[in-house]
Amino acid sequence: MTTAAPLGLTWKRREQIGPTTLYLGDCLEILAHIGPVDAVVSDPPYGIGFTRTGSKTGVHAATKRFAKTGQTTSARLRGTPPIIGDDRPFDPTAWLSAGNVLLWGADHFYPRLPDSGRWLAWNKLGDLDPWDSFADVEFAWHSREGASRIFSMKWKGLACDKSGEANGLREHPFQKPIRLMVWCLEQADVPPGGTVLDPYMGAGTTGVAALMRGCRFIGVEIEESYFDIACRRLTEAHGRADLFAPATSEATP
């Protein structure tokens, strides 16, 4: 269903899929249209394609690194769009006022985070021994005080535990597993019926985890191809849940 665009519209499309609201656009521009949420949980572009000179490391640098490590599991990843915003350092300031914030890749931008909070680690090798020069662990920062925790799940190169990952495909260069994001929502203590915001939604894994937890979800993605993937994945997840009304669509004229 297409409706008239509100005054000052800053998004290109808005999709309503059950308890999820998905925006195609720049999250910093859309932020003013989003009300209070129970948690911000995201894996933002944190400047992995940024060099000391402030330039990109190459066209589609993230995708090339992804393929080099042997993690490509779908032909659709070859030639995928670059990660918008990954060519500059990430500034978390806009999201810190939410109160309950969990951001992956935080070891890359920790100087811009408060001194408070705690750290979460994801061991991507499980009980395997390291075999290359790439990181075996990823870190997230959670704004609330508490014990630091570790989540272990194989998700590196060919050593990927895809059980519970729907079709088993990785459709985004840095796609997180669903079980990891369910764990993140548990760590963020988001109650059933609560609202989760992912301003850098990518392929929509946080949204799938939110549906599994019985939460409402707001996702924003600036790259249309990834937005379409997220819409499809959340439609499929919502269909499996069979709990909510059919999806509706809103687009700019």
Distances (CA, A) of 192 to 149, 195, 253: 22, 9, 35
Give the pLDDT confidence score for residue 160 in this predicted structure.
Answer: 79
Let me know if residue 2 belongs to a domain: no
CB 187 within 8 A of CB 102: yes
Residue 19 maps to a domain: yes
Q: How far apart are CA 21 and CA 42, in angstroms?
A: 15
Q: Count, in order, helices (H) and strands (E) of the chain.
A: 6, 12
pLDDT of residue 94: 95
Calculate Rg over the CA atoms of the chain: 18
Query: Which has the closest alpha carbon to 218: 184, 195, 187?
Result: 195
Predicted local distance difference test score (pLDDT) of residue 66: 42
Domain assignment of residue 5, yes or no: no
- Provide the CATH number for the domain around residue 173: 3.40.50.150
pLDDT at residue 166 in the model: 66
Tokens of 165: 């990952």
Q: Is residue 159 one of the residues assigned to a domain?
A: yes
6 falls within a domain: no
The DSSP bridge partners found for residue 160 are 155
Domain contains 3: no
Reported for 234-241, long-range contacts at CB under 8 A and 24+ positions apart, including other chains, are 234/17, 234/18, 234/20, 234/22, 234/204, 234/207, 234/208, 235/17, 236/166, 237/166, 237/207, 237/208, 237/211, 237/212, 238/17, 238/18, 238/20, 238/211, 241/18, 241/211
In degrees rounded to 5, what are phi and psi of residue 148? -70, 145
Cα–Cα dist 12/252, whole Å: 5
Closest to 117 in 3D by CA, of 142, 90, 93, 100: 142
Provide CB contacts within 8 A for 199, sequence distance 6+: 27, 31, 40, 42, 44, 95, 219, 220
- Please tell me the predicted confidence (pLDDT) of residue 47: 61
Domain presence at residue 158: yes
Backbone angles phi, psi at 40, to 5 degrees: -105, 115
Helix, strand or coil, per DSSP, at residue 152: strand
For residue 68, is it within any domain? yes
Q: How many domains does the chain have?
A: 1
Structure tokens given for 96: 């810190």
pLDDT in tens, 85-137: 777 789 999 999 999 999 999 999 999 999 999 999 999 998 788 878 788 99
Q: Is-contact 136 149, C-beta < 8 A?
A: no
Domain hosting residue 200, numbered range: 11-251
Low-confidence ranges of the chain (pLDDT < 70): 1-8, 47-79, 166-168, 241-253
Q: What is the pLDDT of residue 241?
A: 55
> What's the distance, CA 58 to chain centroid?
23
